[in-house]
């Protein structure tokens, strides 16, 4: 039979109709026949695989039979591999393809079969590599399938070499990063040259794609080495920019200082780039890191007047508080805050039945005022309505005083002078001698305000911040007897010492915690978290100072024990939030601590665990963190824990904000009102300032929810979305939202919590004089520590209203200012915005309703009245008067009435003419933005630099946002410059002081005659010449 089949050829080129004959040959004992059958099957398996599939066991048996020739075994494996590929089992196909060897599985061949198996191989290898890196004991895909790691590795390495040989370095780079192969990453980068564009791609991929913090650090070190090579060989400035980002991510302050020092020592253009990078460093909000960099650069200061000037400017930017001055000056000068909004809120609350007597709403209104004027230093409304402010008592008084800190955020030069009337008396020698146990609300609020003034802006003066921290620490030590003052002092110390990790401060706060006072203990716990923020204290892998590491670790373990021992829920919450802040940016290093907190029986510690997870994976978009948060959101028995887990999604995903509305879409329909509230807030935080129409449509039904605090959350979330938007946003629906807010405030039958949400939303939507927005990251992709701390602590207002002030830490001024080498702004520098001016204009201010003048209605004269007047006239004529008087008066009245009619007609005609004249001109499609000016994040993507003008940015590839250092193309020409001045130095309502001059007494040879005297002398001369002229008569 077999011979007959073999002798029946199917034609030289005709396709094989069936494989049954070749399959039958596999059962033959003759090895040559079986080999021939396998060769034929390999040729037709792609079309007749469905027939061959029945013989898979036979093929696998041949492939594993060691007595058979190697070539035959490999052919059998290749046939079986292709059958499994067609059966859509790529893992089995890969196993057999690797056994088939390179002869049958060529990586260079471009076919669906090869591409599919390469994908399967990469997935299996990446999984195995991660298991090795994480030292996991779970079985991987390769082990389950019986594929050896050596086989996989050899194949992947061949693939990497092939990619590099063909010039596809980016493909090879992606595989190396996914598989966490540090050595291969270095080989690929070096094989490329190293190429600058590939290094930039590697850097971005390391930040965005790599999920393991430990491997990311290794990858960044490799990228840093390559960038250093390029920078030293080619003197490439872009390499310097990327290198600073790498070293900042690695936390190497000394390396950053070295690069900045090199730039400052270079040409004028190099020094300008150095200044730009200094501003970018400060913008990330890590004050402790900036201080370390500045101290390291100071030690490298060279001699020479020009270099000393450059170093002084660098110091002014990094630790001198200049960025804070810029923001403060802009917010003060360019404030577009509408006073009438606060007037309307106050009036609505004072109306009978609208909640005028509610301390909650009064407190909310005071805070709304602080949001509206945050950082503008304009507190005129409070001063005009002091009696209204004085209604606040007890903790409301504390909040009202602290609200001054939000209004004057960053105004460090006048802070002590401003708060002097409220500050507590300096403690005497004996601790606590001057502190009473009761009262102290204004005093405590003023200490909190001091912290807000110095801690809200990341670029505030390091020296002033330290002075204030020492002042607050003095009051902290002396005020243990009064929990209100202790509360304010503790929060103030935390704000002024954020991220410093100073052991002495932590010990002082721990002493306050040991007093077991609920209110003071909560503040102390949070303040310890702020001081140790981002250090990873409590975790095995941390960035604590080596000299204090053991003591701080011991102190943190004491805190965790104390949280289990104390009976005060407020103290437990303070400690759990403190532990959460410590884990900021720690990623997998914090997993052990978070898991311990998540599995605790106490719901308050589990609540803290959700924020710890959100802050540890802040901005990473980690799937692991999202999975845990979503699981908690639907499984935990505590409403507060579920609420915290949903809000945590916004922090993890803020770099890809569009994912948040998709994730919480179903949660918005949850039966649990806490989850619905949290979903609204999460969407608001993630999409803040975007005006995204889909997100707003999602929140709209929540505005009419049956639960009052869900309506509150929907109002605040929508207000965050509308921050910095013009009246044209979302098809002009923003106007109806503003009207809805004022309507809810004035409604008599709305619940207090909903009204409170409407009042706070009024402040959020127009925060910082309409020049601020919520930003969780800096413009160059870094996470902002101050914003993270501010928002997480602000969200604690659910339990404790004084936390509402923390919102000012998360507010970022949306300004753009171009500065020259002397840090003055050229007034003729402009930025082109490719959109209609109305798209990014300030919202229209409210107009005060004017009382309409009542027009005199012409009365109809009845015939009886006319007869009566005539009778009276005749009677007067008889009595001696004349009828003419009466007629004259009636005629005068008629004339007046006619005049009024004519005037009214004229006014109406003028109005009609104006209406006719006002024809809508087509709006321009682009406009030019002056320097300095408000540019929102959405607007910056539509803006571009005009490189044909005199002043050009030192980094033209960047988006126009924030501080831009400019180069001058024609330095010899005259300049029109403006100087940045702090608000306290600017005359308000007064004449500016005169220019410096030298005075000499009258009669002195150098005396300058006064203008009045000159005028008199001129007049007398004129008179004398007039007298001498001959008379014309």
Mean pLDDT of all residues in 387-393: 83
Q: What are phi and psi of 859, to 5 degrees?
A: -85, 145
Environment class of 958 (CB within 10 Å of its CB; exposed 0-12, middle 13-18, buried 19+): middle
Selected residue with higher pLDDT from 848 and 36:
36
The total number of residues written for the chain in this structure: 1033
CB 581 within 8 A of CB 529: yes
User: What angle is formed at CA 517 by the lines to CA 512 and CA 520, rounded to 5 degrees?
Assistant: 60
> Could you give the CA distance from residue 715 to residue 744 in angstroms, rounded to a whole number?
10
- The reported pLDDT for the residue numbered 601 is 92
CA distance 970 to 972: 6
Least confident span in 284-288, 557-561, 690-694: 284-288
Decide which of 629 and 83 is more confident. Answer: 629
- In the structure, what pLDDT confidence band is assigned to residue 10 with cuts at 50, 70 and 90? very low
Q: Which residue has the higher pLDDT, 998 or 328?
A: 328
Q: Using N-to-C axis directions, what is the helix angle for 90-100 and 149-165, rounded to 10°?
A: 80
The separation between the first and the last C-alpha atoms of the chain, rounded to the nearest angstrom, is: 155
Name the E strands within 458-569: none
Q: What is the pLDDT of residue 806?
A: 92
Note the pLDDT of residue 2: 40
Residue 686 CA from chain centroid, whole number: 9
Q: Measured between alpha carbons, how far is 740 from 756 in angstroms, rounded to an integer? A: 14
Predicted confidence at residue 754, as pLDDT, reads: 92
- Whether residue 362 is predicted with pLDDT greater than 80 in this model: the reply is yes
Nearest residue to 93 via CA among 73, 66, 112, 113: 113
CA angle at residue 143 from 139 to 148, to 5 degrees? 145
pLDDT at residue 429 is higher than 90: no
DSSP string, 400-452: HHHHHHHHTTT-GGGHHHHHTTTSPPPP-SSTTTT--SS--HHHHHHHHHHHH
- Output the average pLDDT for the chain: 82
For residue 406, pLDDT beyond 60: yes
Task: Report how far Cα 493 is from the mean position of its chain's Cα atoms.
Answer: 24
Q: What are phi and psi of 333, to 5 degrees?
A: -75, -45
- Tell me, what's the pLDDT at 430? 45
In whole angstroms, what separates CA 856 from the centre of its chain?
A: 59
**Residue 989 confidence class, pLDDT cut points 50, 70, 90:** very low
Per-residue pLDDT of 899-910, as tens digits, reads: 555 555 555 555
- Residue 151 pLDDT: 76
Which two structure tokens, joined as six digits, stand for 995? 């220019």
- The residue with greater pLDDT, 440 or 699, is 699
Query: According to the 3-state scheme, what is the secondary structure of 335-382?
Result: CCCCHHHHHHHHHHHHCCCCCCCCHHHHHHHHHHHHHHCCCCCCCHHH
Over residues 20-32, mean pLDDT: 81
Cα 820 to its chain centre, rounded Å, is: 27
Instruction: Encode pLDDT of 729-754 as tens digits.
Output: 877 888 889 889 988 988 888 888 99
- Rounded to whole angstroms, the Cα distance separating 444 from 150 reads 67
- Predicted confidence at residue 367, as pLDDT, reads 93
Q: Indicate whether 202 pLDDT > 80.
A: yes
pLDDT recorded at residue 920: 66
268-283 pLDDT, tens digit per residue, is 888 888 888 888 888 8
CA 263 to chain centre: 29
Sorted by sequence, the CB contacts under 8 Å of residue 416 that are 6+ apart come out as 423, 450
pLDDT of residue 846: 81
In this prediction, residues 970-996 reach a mean pLDDT of: 67
Q: Please tell me the predicted confidence (pLDDT) of residue 855.
A: 57
Cα 648 to the chain's mean position, in Å? 15
Least confident of 100-104, 566-570, 980-984: 980-984
Name the percent of the chain lying above pLDDT 70. 86
- Of 449, 437, 383, give the one whose Cα is nearest residue 412: 449
Listed range (17-31, 42-56, 86-100, 342-356) with the worst mean pLDDT: 342-356
Structure tokens at 512: 């306050």
The residues pairing with 826 across neighbouring beta strands, listed in sequence order, are 977
Residues 6+ apart with CB under 8 A from 109: none
> Residue 765: which pLDDT band, with cuts at 50, 70 and 90?
very high
Is the pLDDT at 1011 greater than 60? The verdict is no
The CA distance from 685 to 716, in Å, is 10
Q: What is the DSSP letter of 819?
A: E
Residues 6 or more apart from 546 whose CB is under 8 A from it?
none
pLDDT (0 to 100) of residue 691: 87
**Is 399 or 165 the better-scoring residue by pLDDT?**
399
**What is the average per-residue pLDDT within 974-985?**
74
Q: What angle do CA 379, 407, 789 make, to 5 degrees?
A: 165
CA distances from 272 to 159, 263, 276, 420, 619 (A): 45, 8, 6, 40, 30
What average pLDDT does range 424-428 have in this prediction?
75
Taking only the tens place, the pLDDT of each residue in 941-957 is 888 888 888 888 988 88
The token pair at 266 is 């270079």
Look at 91-100, 822-831, 988-997 and tell me which has the smallest mean pLDDT.
988-997
Does pLDDT of 175 surpass 90? no
Picking from 109, 59, 63, the residue whose alpha carbon sits closest to that of residue 87 is 59
Q: Do 370 and 389 contact (CB within 8 A), yes or no?
A: no
CA distances from 728 to 234, 695, 731, 732, 844 (A): 49, 17, 6, 5, 10
Return the number of other C-beta atoms located less than 10 Å from residue 525's C-beta.
30
| Three-state DSSP class for residue 1002 | coil
pLDDT in tens, 215-269: 888 888 888 888 888 877 777 777 788 888 888 888 888 888 888 888 888 888 8
Summarised one tens digit per residue, pLDDT across range 369-386 is: 999 999 898 888 888 888
């Amino acid at each position: 039979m077999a011979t007959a089949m073999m002798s029946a050829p199917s034609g030289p080129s005709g396709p094989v109709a069936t494989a049954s004959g070749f399959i039958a040959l596999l059962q033959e004992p003759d090895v040559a026949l079986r080999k021939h059958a396998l060769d034929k099957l390999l040729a037709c398996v792609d079309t007749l695989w469905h027939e061959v599939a029945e013989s898979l066991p036979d093929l696998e048996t041949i492939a594993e039979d060691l007595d058979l020739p190697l070539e035959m075994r490999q052919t059998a494996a290749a046939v079986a591999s292709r059958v499994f590929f067609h059966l859509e089992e790529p893992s089995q196909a890969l196993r057999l393809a690797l056994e088939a060897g390179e002869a049958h599985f060529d990586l260079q061949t471009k076919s669906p079969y090869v591409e599919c198996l390469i994908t399967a191989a990469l997935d299996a290898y990446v999984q195995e590599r991660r298991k090795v890196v994480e030292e996991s004991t779970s079985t991987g895909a390769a082990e389950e399938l019986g594929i050896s790691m050596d086989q996989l590795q050899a194949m992947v390495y061949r693939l990497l070499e092939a990619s590099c040989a063909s010039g596809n370095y980016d493909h090879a780079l992606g595989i190396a990063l996914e598989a966490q192969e540090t050595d291969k990453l270095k080989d690929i980068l070096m094989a490329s040259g190293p190429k600058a564009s590939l290094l930039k791609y590697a850097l971005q991929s390391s930040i965005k794609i790599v999920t393991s913090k430990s491997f990311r650090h290794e990858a960044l070190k490799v990228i840093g080495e390559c960038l250093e090579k390029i920078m030293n060989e080619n003197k490439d400035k872009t390499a310097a920019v990327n290198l600073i980002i790498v070293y900042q991510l690695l936390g190497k302050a000394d390396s950053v200082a070295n690069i900045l020092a090199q730039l400052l020592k270079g040409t004028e253009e190099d020094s300008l780039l150095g200044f730009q990078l200094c501003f970018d460093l400060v913008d990330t909000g890590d004050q402790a890191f900036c201080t370390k960099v500045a101290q390291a650069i100071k030690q490298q200061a060279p001699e020479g007047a020009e270099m000393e000037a450059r170093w002084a400017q660098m110091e002014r930017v990094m630790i001198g508080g200049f960025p804070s001055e810029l923001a403060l000056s802009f917010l003060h000068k360019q404030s577009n805050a509408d006073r009438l909004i606060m007037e309307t809120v106050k009036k609505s609350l004072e109306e009978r039945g609208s909640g005028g007597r509610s301390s909650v709403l009064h407190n909310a209104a005071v805070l709304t005022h602080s949001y509206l004027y945050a950082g503008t230093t304009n507190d005129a409304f409070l001063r005009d309505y002091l009696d209204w402010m004085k209604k606040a008592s007890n903790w409301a008084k504390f909040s009202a005083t602290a609200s001054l800190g939000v209004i004057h955020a960053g105004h460090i030069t006048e802070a002590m002078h401003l708060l002097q009337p409220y500050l507590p008396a300096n403690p005497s020698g004996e601790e606590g001698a001057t502190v009473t146990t009761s009262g102290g609300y204004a005093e405590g609020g003023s200490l909190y305000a001091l912290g807000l003034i110095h801690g809200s802006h990341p670029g505030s003066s390091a020296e002033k911040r330290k002075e204030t921290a020492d002042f607050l620490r003095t009051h902290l030590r002396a005020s243990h007897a009064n929990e209100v003052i202790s509360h304010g002092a503790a929060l103030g110390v935390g704000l002024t010492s954020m991220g410093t990790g100073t052991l002495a401060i932590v010990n002082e706060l721990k002493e306050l915690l040991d007093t077991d006072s609920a209110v003071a203990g909560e503040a102390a716990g949070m303040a310890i978290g702020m001081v140790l923020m981002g250090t990873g204290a409590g975790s095995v892998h941390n960035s604590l100072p080596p000299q204090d590491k053991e003591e701080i670790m011991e102190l943190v373990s004491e805190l965790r024990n104390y949280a289990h021992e104390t009976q005060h829920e407020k103290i437990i919450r303070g400690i759990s939030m403190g532990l959460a802040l410590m884990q900021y940016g720690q990623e997998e290093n914090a997993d052990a601590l978070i898991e311990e907190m998540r599995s605790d029986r106490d719901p308050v510690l589990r609540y803290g665990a959700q924020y710890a997870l959100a802050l540890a994976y802040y901005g990473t978009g980690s799937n692991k963190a999202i999975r845990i948060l979503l699981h908690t959101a639907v499984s935990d028995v505590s409403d507060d824990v579920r609420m915290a887990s949903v809000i945590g999604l916004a922090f993890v995903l803020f770099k890809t904000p569009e994912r948040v509305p998709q994730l919480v879409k179903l949660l918005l329909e949850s039966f649990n009102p806490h989850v619905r509230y949290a979903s609204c807030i999460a969407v608001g935080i993630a999409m803040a300032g975007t005006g995204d129409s889909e997100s707003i449509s999602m929140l709209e039904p929540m505005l009419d929810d049956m639960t009052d605090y869900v309506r509150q959350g929907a109002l605040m979330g929508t207000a965050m979305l509308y921050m910095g938007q013009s009246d044209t946003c979302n098809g002009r629906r923003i106007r109806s939202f503003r009207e809805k807010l004022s309507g809810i405030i004035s409604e008599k039958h709305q619940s207090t919590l909903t009204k409170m949400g409407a009042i706070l939303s009024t402040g959020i939507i127009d925060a910082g004089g309409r020049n601020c927005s919520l930003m969780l990251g800096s413009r160059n992709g870094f996470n902002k520590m101050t914003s993270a701390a501010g928002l997480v602590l602000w969200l604690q207002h659910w339990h404790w209203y004084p936390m509402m002030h923390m919102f000012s830490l998360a507010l970022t001024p949306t300004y753009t200012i171009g500065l020259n080498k002397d840090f003055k702004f050229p007034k003729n520098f402009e930025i082109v915005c490719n959109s209609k001016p109305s798209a990014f204009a300030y919202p229209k201010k409210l107009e005060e309703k004017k009382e309409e003048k009542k027009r005199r209605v012409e009365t109809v004269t009845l015939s009886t009245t006319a007869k009566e007047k005539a009778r009276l006239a005749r009677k007067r004529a008889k009595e001696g008067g004349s009828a003419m008087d009466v007629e004259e008066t009636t005629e005068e009245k008629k004339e007046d009435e006619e005049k009024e009619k004519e005037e009214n007609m004229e006014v109406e005609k003028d109005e009609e003419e104006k209406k006719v004249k006002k024809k809508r001109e087509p709006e321009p499609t682009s406009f030019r933005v002056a320097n300095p000016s408000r540019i929102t994040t959405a607007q910056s993507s539509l803006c571009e630099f005009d490189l044909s003008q005199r002043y050009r940015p030192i980094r033209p590839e960047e988006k126009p946002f924030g501080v831009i250092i400019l180069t001058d193309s024609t330095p010899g020409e005259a300049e029109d410059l403006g100087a940045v001045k702090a608000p306290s130095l600017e005359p308000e309502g007064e004449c500016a002081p005169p220019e410096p001059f030298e005075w000499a007494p009258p009669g002195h040879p150098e005396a300058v005659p006064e203008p009045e005297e000159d005028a008199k002398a001129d007049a007398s001369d004129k008179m004398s010449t007039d007298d001498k002229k001959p008379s014309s008569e």
